Amino acid sequence: MDFAKVLGRFSVQRVQSPVLMAVQLRNLGMNQSSHLNCTDRSSGKSPMGCCCSVDSKSVGGEVFLVTSSSKSDVDYLGESTKGDLNIKEEHLDAFGIDGQATLDYPIEEIARMEAKGAEELLSDLGILDPFSSRHSPRGIFCSRTLNLRSISAIGYDMDYTLIHYNVMAWEGRAYDYCMGNLRSMGFPVDGLEFDPNLVIRGLVMDKERGNLVKADRFGYVKRAMHGTRMLSTRAVSEIYGRELVDLRKESRWEFLNTLFSVSEAVAYMQMVDRLDEGAVPAELTPLDYKGLYKAIYCTILFIMAVLAKCHSNLWHDFQAVGKALFRAHVEGQLKSEIMSNPERFVEPDPELPLALLDQKEAGKRLLLITNSDYHYTDKMMQHSFNRFLPNDMGWRDLFEMVIVSARKPEFFQMSHPMYEVVTSEGLMRPCFKARPGGLYSGGSAQMVESSLNIHGDEILYVGDHIHTDVSQSKVHLRWRTALICRELEDEYSALICSRGHRAALIDLINQKEVVGDLFNQLRLALQRRTKGRPAQTLAATNMDDQELTETMQKLLIVMQRLDQKIAPMLEADGEHFNKRYADIYTSRVSNFLHYTPFMYFRSQEQTLAHDSYSVYLPHLNGFAVDHLSKPSGL
């Protein structure tokens, strides 16, 4: 890329801007080497390769001013202006720029020209423009407006957030251990294999009926599977027609909201089939679906605890159900297997450490808050981070505070004893006050806020668990939140590939709506005619009986055929997820690298159903709209 050419183009575009013309004219007489040191001082000629040495103090340090907390305000979207960059008044005066002069020119014209120039310069620099960044499988999507500049600290979960595991390898091993333990207890598991495509996150297990269900946002069951067999629409209606999924009833419903729950659900649905076949011995468990779930839940939950995703009080569940599953053997074998061969279980992401480095250098105070223990955390983070960091940095150099064995979600709700990890072997001592730069075990979010002297919406927490990471930090502390959902990449790609399918489906649905509306109007006219009353309009009243009947017959056949076409298309289309708890959501943390630590994420306008109809009326003039808005009697 010819950097001088790029700068030249940028300069021309700036000259065309009335507001910036005075600045550009003054800059034409200045020695550019005072800003970019691209000249060989001995010869006075530019070298073949432009190597720009930038003095951070001279570039921007005397020109710009960062808005501090004490001087921050709230912008028109309700976001804090803390961290915003402003031009110093004395710099404007020195170059003869009057900030108010911008009001003398049409800002629409200026903005249009500058936006076009910005797009061209971004292209020349090889940087994706904001539209392209957002509209990609690795975009960051905004549910609630978030000014990243105003964020003082960013906290991260580790498992499936900073570290992404190979689902087949990780969950497959958990499944294997589960099946091995079930086999040792006498369950009929021969011939069963782990099928990661059988279950996805967001589904709900009905432990009373042995079903896996998909519910809409209101709790109505739209689809269901009994064991590994998909139920028909009619069967779903008969079973759940008058029931709503209520996740507060944990004794019945189990929400699959993490990738760690995949192996649990696969094992359960497969064993439901075996129970229906009468293959499960009666002495192993009560012969109902809830009793079967308890047996499998105990096994999987123990393995999840071994993988350091669950906090210690879950051990009471094991004691309650009385299932001894060779704990010492499983713990030692599984953890040893993962830590000794992380390449098999961890998917590397070279961009992720660099994204965090950008945030740290932008002044963000980075925190690691994980339920994993110290040894496991250190091993996984070393493997995933150290080789991708520059200048011999280690993963600990990125974080101002590290908290292991955090026991989320209780970490956000209440205070627990805190210990400082003081040696590389994990030796700990009691600690009553956290300090920046420390490594701790336990504690609470309130301790973090007190130590860093930042609170509430100054902190952004990033995690993959809707309840443990996102919901609780927002509800109890008002932290801003970001949800990591790796499935988003496949879903977005599927949406792009199915655009033609969806367009055809929407077109058919709209056609049926028009045909159906006419049919319903004629049906009402027929009903009024049989009662000796006039139809809705004079023309409808004057329709011939045979014409009315034949038209309705034709329309009914058309609607029935449309239904036959629409039903399978709608089944294939499915429904798309909605992350209501997170301010922003994305597929992986490294996606932040494609943005900047100063990004202002703006949510899309939220509309009601009637708002969308306005886009279909652009051809109506003011008279027509006024006419539609008036009662028919006026």
pLDDT value at residue 162? 96
Q: What would the 3-class secondary structure string for 295-327 be?
A: HHHHHHHHHHHHCCCCCHHHHHHHHHHCCCCCH
The per-residue pLDDT for range 245-260, each reduced to its tens digit, is 998 888 899 888 776 6
pLDDT value at residue 573? 61
Asked whether the predicted pLDDT for residue 315 surpasses 70, the reply is no
Give the rounded percent of residues in the chain with a pLDDT score beyond 90: 34
Asked whether the predicted pLDDT for residue 444 surpasses 90, the reply is yes
**Banded model confidence at residue 89, pLDDT cuts 50, 70, 90:** confident
Does 54 or 76 have the greater pLDDT score? Answer: 76
pLDDT value at residue 181? 80
Distance of CA 189 to the CA centre of its chain: 36
* Rounded Cα–Cα distance for residues 472 and 449 (Å): 15
pLDDT value at residue 631? 45
Instruction: Provide the 8-state DSSP code for 74.
Output: B
| pTM as predicted | 0.75
Asked whether the predicted pLDDT for residue 355 surpasses 90, the reply is yes
pLDDT value at residue 122? 87
Asked whether the predicted pLDDT for residue 407 surpasses 80, the reply is yes
pLDDT value at residue 264? 81
pLDDT value at residue 174? 78
Q: Span 110-119, mean pLDDT?
A: 85
Asked whether the predicted pLDDT for residue 328 surpasses 90, the reply is no
pLDDT value at residue 611? 54
pLDDT value at residue 605? 62
User: Can you identify the CATH homologous superfamily of domain 153-160+356-490?
Assistant: HAD superfamily/HAD-like (3.40.50.1000)
DSSP for 157-221, please give it: -TBTTTBEE-HHHHHHHHHHHHHHHHHHTT---TT----TTS--TT-EEETTTTEEEEE-TTSBE
Lowest mean pLDDT segment, chosen from 20-24, 104-108, 114-118, 493-497: 20-24
Mean pLDDT of the chain: 78
Does 317 or 500 have the greater pLDDT score? Answer: 500
Q: Span 331-356, mean pLDDT?
A: 84
Give the rounded percent of residues in the chain with a pLDDT score beyond 70: 75
Q: Where are the domains of the chain?
A: 3-140, 153-160+356-490, 164-343
Q: Span 112-128, mean pLDDT?
A: 87
Give the CA count within 13 Å in the CB-facing half-sphere of 190: 3
Does 531 or 6 have the greater pLDDT score? Answer: 531
Does 417 or 609 have the greater pLDDT score? Answer: 417
pLDDT value at residue 469? 85
Asked whether the predicted pLDDT for residue 311 surpasses 80, the reply is no
Q: Span 72-93, mean pLDDT?
A: 81
pLDDT value at residue 33? 39
299 neighbors 181 (Cβ within 8 angstroms): yes
Q: Span 465-492, mean pLDDT?
A: 88
Asked whether the predicted pLDDT for residue 589 surpasses 60, the reply is yes
Asked whether the predicted pLDDT for residue 270 surpasses 70, the reply is yes
- Phi and psi, residue 368, nearest 5°: -115, 120
With 0-12 / 13-18 / 19 or more C-beta atoms within 10 angstroms meaning exposed / middle / buried, residue 143 is: buried
pLDDT value at residue 157? 95
**Banded model confidence at residue 361, pLDDT cuts 50, 70, 90:** very high
Asked whether the predicted pLDDT for residue 387 surpasses 90, the reply is yes
**Banded model confidence at residue 180, pLDDT cuts 50, 70, 90:** confident
* Rounded Cα–Cα distance for residues 612 and 627 (Å): 20
Q: Which residues contact 10 (CB under 8 A, 6 or more apart)?
A: 117, 121
pLDDT value at residue 300? 55
Asked whether the predicted pLDDT for residue 483 surpasses 60, the reply is yes
Q: Which helix (H) or strand (E) holds 440?
A: strand 439-442
482 neighbors 181 (Cβ within 8 angstroms): no
Residue written as tokens 């519910």? 215
pLDDT value at residue 196? 83
**Banded model confidence at residue 570, pLDDT cuts 50, 70, 90:** confident
The per-residue pLDDT for range 524-550, each reduced to its tens digit, is 999 999 899 998 899 988 899 899 999
Asked whether the predicted pLDDT for residue 366 surpasses 90, the reply is yes
